[in-house]
Chains A and B, each alone.
Chain A
Amino acid sequence: MITEESLQIREARGEAKSHTFSAPAVRARGLFKRYKDGTEANRGIDLDVQPGELISILGPNGAGKTTFLRQVTTELRPTSGSVEIFGVDAIAEPQRAKGMMGITPQEAGLFDSLTVQEHFELFARLKDLSRADARAEAAEVISALDLSAERMKRVGTLSGGQRRRILIGLALLGRPPLLVLDEPTTGLDPSSRRAVWGVIRRAVTDGAAVILSTHYIEEAERLGDRIGIIAQGRLIAFGTLDELLGRLERSYRLSYRDRLDPFGNFCMCYFASFSDARAHAAREQLSEYSIARASLEDVYFTLTGECFAEGETKG
């Protein structure tokens, strides 16, 4: 039986494939979240995500990224503001909105005594796929996420990274037109991370919209068509990588070792041009230094005043 809800999901999927969109995948307006203890986690976030577009969300810990994503996925009710998913009011009709989403939360539990395949098949049924389609989708996702060897294993015997990939796979089931992934690759080894990037990129190529929060600056840079930076509950920057780099008045970075602290960390200064940076190095008689074009990390540092830890800059 085809319900109105499943028709809408099919329409959204169809629109995503044919690129004939009637509404943005996500339209958030004035999202404001104040918790009971008075903490303001989001302070008026406006964001549009178009079908076929991947948005990376960056921000320090506690900046409000997860709060924002949880409001989009209907898990958390905003204090004020609105969220629409393909034109559906996600606050008033969470089930309908979720029917068009694939969600990977930052933390969620799996069933230890179910096998990988059983997870995919059963949860595919919850996404309204027929038994045959559920089996086919499960096989496809298992292969795409490089989990074929683990297919018949009970989830309780798998590593943290493998369990994380299952959570990502569950979001992909049913090819939803919108994917909301909260730090999907945290805890994955480099090769698994690249496999996941490939799967996400393929979904975007197929027309899906993706919102992805990440701690890895390389991930945001490589995957994101547009990048949003959230700090202290506000979306303080949003645009393509070039647009964000264009916000820096001084786009050359001089990194050097302080002569008075030779074993300390590298110091950084920003200059408007390469020659200004080199002149500064000569004037200060620096012997160990490098000059480079500014990167997303520099934009992030300039806007938030926070540095990424070494492990977080590389994907």
Chain B
Amino acid sequence: MKRLTDIICVFRIQLMSMRAEAGPFFLAALVFPTAMYLFTRAVSGTEAAPDQNRLRFLAGSIVFSLSLTSISWLGYLLLENRFTGRLKLFATMPLAPSSYILGILLFAFAQAALGTTALILIGRTFGVRMRPSILMLGSVVMLTVLCLCGLGAIIAARARSFTQGSILTDALGAGLVLLAPIYYTPETMPHSLRAVSQLLPTAFAARAVQTTLAGGHQIGGEMMALGFMAIVSLTLGFRLTKWRED
């Protein structure tokens, strides 16, 4: 019971501290991804874009939103907690490090749920035809968030300064989407980047989200890859977080 209360408290503290930053959050979670959707649709031939392309662009925008909120935004919060002494404040409390981590992850899921739902509604408004399975889409989003949060946590734990960390989280949040074949097909990429780009977590996430939005179920490979990456990045990220100094 205490553990659950602790997790919810950490979640609420992060949520309430976001009140002053709601504007930038909506920019990252909704405005930029929506703009990217409209931009890619326009570039690819607008109205003539077949449904499959529209679905790909929407899936890309959902992954873009997840990447910006989980790596850039959450990484920034973790950096803030570390470099402004808030992590130290949590560490003075009888709070297990795992409760802190779960509270932060719960916050990340809430952000992801809000962003994804809003983007699906925006997609419908723009006439994207989809038949998503909520359960499958939820699972894909959850695994993607876990994986990307782990990357944000690694940067937040290893950064030498707040500035260095925030530059890295920003660069990775956008870079992982732009380098992966999300808004375009792998064939259009330079040969040297093709193999690497297909192994990025955002590439697996985009394929899984697109398949799920189209009502498909063949995402076992993507789920396994995302699951594996999530375990590695989260374990590493939160092991590197200094809760207690040696």
Interface of A toward B, CB cutoff 8 Å: 1, 3, 5-6, 70, 73-77, 94-96, 98-99, 103-105, 107-114, 118, 122-123, 125-128, 154, 156, 167, 170-171
Is B93 in contact with A76, judged by CB distance below 8 angstroms? no
Interface of B toward A, CB cutoff 8 Å: 1-2, 5-6, 9, 12-13, 16-21, 81, 84-86, 88-89, 91-96, 244-246
Q: In the complex, what residues of B have CB within 8 A of residue A154's CB?
A: 20
Is A105 in contact with B86, judged by CB distance below 8 angstroms? no
Minimum CB–CB distance from B27 to chain A (whole Å) comes to 18
Contact of A95 among B5, B21, B81, B96 (CB under 8 A): B96
A128 to B17, CA, bound (A): 21
Is B5 in contact with A113, judged by CB distance below 8 angstroms? no
Q: In the complex, what residues of B have CB within 8 A of residue A112's CB?
A: 17, 20
Q: In the complex, what residues of B have CB within 8 A of residue A128's CB?
A: 2, 5, 94
A42 to B195, CA, bound (A): 54
Contact of A109 among B2, B12, B89 (CB under 8 A): B89
Q: In the complex, what residues of A have CB within 8 A of residue B86's CB?
A: 108-111
A278 to B15, CA, bound (A): 69
A154 to B17, CA, bound (A): 10
Is A95 in contact with B17, judged by CB distance below 8 angstroms? no
Q: In the complex, what residues of B have CB within 8 A of residue A1's CB?
A: 1-2
Contact of A111 among B1, B13, B91, B246 (CB under 8 A): B13
Known: A113-B21, A118-B16, A127-B94. 17 other contacts (CB 8 A): A3-B2, A70-B245, A75-B92, A77-B245, A77-B246, A98-B92, A98-B93, A98-B94, A105-B92, A108-B89, A108-B92, A110-B89, A111-B86, A114-B13, A122-B13, A126-B5, A156-B20
A110 to B13, CA, bound (A): 11
Q: Assuming A105-B88, A108-B86, A111-B13, is B2 touching A123 (CB within 8 A)?
A: no
Is A127 in contact with B244, judged by CB distance below 8 angstroms? no
A95 to B94, CA, bound (A): 5
Q: Max chain B CB contacts within 10 Å: which of A70, A94, A108?
A: A108
Q: In the complex, what residues of B have CB within 8 A of residue A118's CB?
A: 16
Contact of B92 among A77, A96, A103, A125 (CB under 8 A): A103
Minimum CB–CB distance from B145 to chain A (whole Å) comes to 23
A95 to B93, CA, bound (A): 8
Q: Max chain B CB contacts within 10 Å: which of A109, A122, A156?
A: A109
23 A-B residue pairings within 8 Å (CB atoms): A3-B2, A5-B94, A77-B244, A98-B92, A99-B94, A108-B89, A109-B81, A109-B85, A109-B86, A109-B88, A109-B89, A110-B86, A111-B17, A113-B20, A113-B21, A122-B9, A123-B9, A126-B6, A126-B9, A126-B93, A126-B94, A126-B95, A171-B92
Q: Max chain B CB contacts within 10 Å: which of A110, A111, A112?
A: A111
A114 to B86, CA, bound (A): 13
Minimum CB–CB distance from B142 to chain A (whole Å) comes to 26
By beta carbon, the residue of chain A nearest B10 is A126
A96 to B96, CA, bound (A): 10
Is A76 in contact with B88, judged by CB distance below 8 angstroms? no
Minimum CB–CB distance from A78 to chain B (whole Å) comes to 10
A7 to B96, CA, bound (A): 17
A3 to B91, CA, bound (A): 21
Is A73 in contact with B94, judged by CB distance below 8 angstroms? no
9 closest A-B pairs by beta carbon, nearest first, are A109-B85, A109-B84, A99-B94, A103-B92, A113-B20, A109-B86, A108-B89, A108-B85, A111-B17
Q: In the complex, what residues of A have CB within 8 A of residue B6's CB?
A: 126
Q: Assuming A95-B94, A170-B89, is B1 touching A114 (CB within 8 A)?
A: no
By beta carbon, the residue of chain A nearest B89 is A108
A112 to B89, CA, bound (A): 13
By beta carbon, the residue of chain B nearest A97 is B94
A223 to B239, CA, bound (A): 41
Q: Assuming A1-B1, A3-B2, is B17 touching A113 (CB within 8 A)?
A: yes
